[in-house]
């Protein structure tokens, strides 16, 4: 639910407690990950099930088998398929992943394979897209994979602020096909300035509704 009728705030969380606090502070959706010090890995089934029981807002789940790059071998892809099936079986409606080849282009074949495995869940292609060799070309390659409904991006830059001009251009070009979730060091305090420039519909951040970590 978009509470202010203007933007959706997606909070990146690691625990059930953080997710509950994020909802109380106004998050419209959460993305559950494990090991955020590695930029997020697949959480446990137990944590996902606890979250489903605890929240009333939508939940996305990260599908990522290990830290490091986004170039996966067959064994890792099969593991990702297994986690996707697990998420679907317990009621998750959207998963998040990104796969690349060694030349920094999207691994189209493996991406399409996982999207088909995820059906009827929706898929967000995550910030792996920001390290591709040509972000515009990469987005064009995803156009034909209908199960991908959204893309998480900072416009190819380290932060959303530094990528704001390219992010605005991306949304102008591809916003009719994908929901772009702007990410990259977005906080509760800098979100108004970033949104004022980009005018996206959705934003993502670890601190997008404030600090969720226990003091």
pLDDT at 6: 85
Residue 36, φ and ψ in degrees, nearest 5: -70, -15
Measured CA to CA, the distance from residue 53 to residue 46 in angstroms comes to 11
pLDDT at 171: 98
pLDDT at 1: 40
pLDDT at 214: 64
CA distances from 39 to 64, 70, 184, 190 (A): 10, 11, 11, 21
pLDDT in tens, 153-202: 999 999 999 999 999 999 999 999 999 999 999 999 999 999 999 999 99
Domains (range + CATH), the chain: 8-205 (3.20.20.380)
Q: Report residues of the chain scoring pLDDT below 50.
A: 1-4, 215
């Amino acid at each position: 639910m978009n509470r202010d009728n203007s933007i959706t705030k997606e909070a990146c969380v690691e625990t059930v407690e953080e997710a509950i606090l994020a909802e109380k502070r106004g998050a419209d959706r959460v993305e559950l990950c494990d090991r955020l010090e590695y930029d997020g890995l697949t959480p446990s089934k137990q944590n996902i099930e606890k979250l489903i029981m605890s929240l009333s807002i939508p939940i996305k789940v990260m599908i990522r088998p290990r830290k490091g790059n986004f170039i996966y071998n067959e064994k890792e892809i099969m593991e990702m398929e297994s986690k996707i099936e697990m998420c679907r079986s317990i009621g998750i409606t959207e998963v998040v992943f990104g796969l690349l080849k060694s030349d920094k282009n999207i691994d189209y074949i493996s991406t399409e394979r996982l999207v088909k495995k995820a059906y009827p869940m929706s898929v967000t292609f995550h910030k792996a897209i920001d390290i591709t060799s040509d972000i515009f070309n990469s987005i064009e390659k995803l156009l034909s994979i209908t199960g991908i409904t959204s893309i998480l991006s900072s416009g190819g830059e380290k932060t959303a602020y530094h990528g704001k001009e390219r992010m605005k251009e991306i949304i102008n070009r591809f916003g009719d096909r994908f929901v772009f979730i702007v990410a990259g060091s977005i906080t509760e305090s800098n979100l108004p300035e970033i949104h004022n420039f980009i005018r996206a519909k959705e934003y993502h951040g670890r601190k997008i509704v404030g600090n969720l970590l226990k003091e």
